[in-house]
Amino acid sequence: MIYRFDDFELDTGKRELRRAGQEIAVEPQVFALLTLLAENNERLVSKDEIIEKIWDGRIVSESAVTSRVKSARQALGDTGKAQTYIRTVHGQGFRFAAPVKLIGAAISSGQSASTESVGKEEALNEDARRRQGAKPSIAVLPLSLVGDAGSYSTIADALPHELISELSRLRWLFVIARASSFRFRSADPDVKEIGAALGVRYCLSGVLEVFGDRVTITIELSDTKSGGVIWAERFSGNVGEVHTIREKIIMEVVAALEIQIPTNEAQAARLTAPENLDAWSAYHLGIQHLYRFNNNDNAQAAGLFERAVELEPGFARAHAGLSSAYFQNAFLKYTLEGNLDRKLARTHAEKSYELDPLDPFANFVMGRVHWIEDNIEGGIGWLDRSIALCPNYAQGIYARSWADTVSGRGEDGAQNISLALSLSPLDPFRYAMLGVRAFTHILRHEYQEGAYWADEAARAPGAHVLIAMIAVAAHGMNGNDERASKWAANVRNRNPDVTQKDFFRSFPFEDVDTRERTAKALGDYGF
């Protein structure tokens, strides 16, 4: 690593101190002291810590510490009176006074990490990532502080640390360890430089503001290659609610990254010629097609997942993607090969689980396979396992709520679907989540609410024809003939052959009353 301040550079790889590119000779312990102070420039470093780190905890005199500090100052052209770079805090320790930037290693011997070399290194990191089919990677930075945070200032480190722990549970994401990412503590982090130094594609940063009795935390997800912000959210409340806010942030950030990073990866993959796609690029592009919920895109998704498996046979998520594509074929009757689709959905789900039993997506597809095998209860354990592996996995929570609702457990379904929608408000399964919410009301004879949410579901992006049939039934039960007729026409225009039997094949309600009421409403409008 290279630490830059003014026209100085501390190169820990070469163990050199340079000024304007010229090396300055320093003793090893003096170099170690400068490095310790520079890399902890945001805080005071105590004399005890200096002794522990520089002398490995051996007993040394205070004059030995003073001597090394004096030598370090001399190397920087500093003095005990000026204290331009090394500031003494009497009776406590020392603090590095100059702003420090961590900019990464030099490219070749004798060459400092200039802007040009950082750009070259960034390109090399990205090229290597693409060639190796590496999973997306992210660095989580400590929060910057604005205002007088007081005792709440610890949140600036504690929240990112918790996020690192939670994100590390996502099997598809490589998360840089705290010890490395926290070295980039800055009020205005340069995400491009961070990407070059750590070799990561994404950076999560934020600001903690405390003014009076209000606390606000802003979180940003940036692409380190372009420097652009992909996603941002602002959370605020009373300082007394800070821990509730913290929990909300962790839940929403994890859920947002499940959507935002794959979407960004797919957009990047579109710029690559199909024959040059690596396994991860093919997978992410496949996910984008999968979530368009139509026959043509689903077929393209399956082809991309097959390419990913061909390039990397042990790619668990690519097999899970294939299982999802065959599930969609069977669930929405895209093909006439229903038995084959069900068989392949199970085969790839089992392969995904075999390759990575701790991946929530692998457990999710294992759970959904049971739906198209007319064994909804048999899949619940798998869905519960996907949620246990990642408590903020919105799609797993949605799938559990769907299973609860069609099985007649409306209260459980309502609770889970509210959580899923809260965790992932822009989820590609949002239309399905809203459809489940509509049926949780229909189960309780709350027809006005059910009709409202059915409308929202049918209008949501990706909503397939069966979701429009939910709107027909909901408005029919609510006595709104105009709206029910409108959605009935929509259904016939999209698929004139769809029947009530098709609907109940995909939504096999176990509650007899709900099934009868839904059947009557659909029958009233010709289905």
Enumerate domains of the chain plus CATH numbers. Answer: 2-102 (1.10.10.10), 115-256 (3.40.50.10610), 272-391 (1.25.40.10), 394-527 (1.25.40.10)
d(CA 317, CA 308): 9
Does the pLDDT of residue 314 top 70, yes or no? yes
pLDDT digits (tens, 9 = 90+) for 216-263: 999 999 999 999 999 999 999 998 888 888 889 999 999 899 889 988
What letter would DSSP give residue 507? Answer: S
Residue 122 pLDDT exceeds 50: no
In whole angstroms, give the CA distance from residue 141 to residue 375: 45
Q: What is the mean pLDDT of residues 500-518?
A: 94
* pLDDT recorded at residue 104: 55
**Residues 6 or more apart whose Cβ sits within 8 Å of residue 94:** 37, 44, 45, 47, 50, 69, 86, 87, 88
CB atoms within 10 A of CB 321: 29
pLDDT digits (tens, 9 = 90+) for 495-505: 999 999 999 99
pLDDT > 60? residue 116: no
Q: pLDDT-based confidence at 269, cuts 50/70/90?
A: confident
Per residue in 175-208, pLDDT (tens digit) is 998 878 888 888 788 899 899 888 899 999 999 9
Q: DSSP string covering 460-499, please? A: STT--HHHHHHHHHHHHHTT-HHHHHHHHHHHHHH-TT--
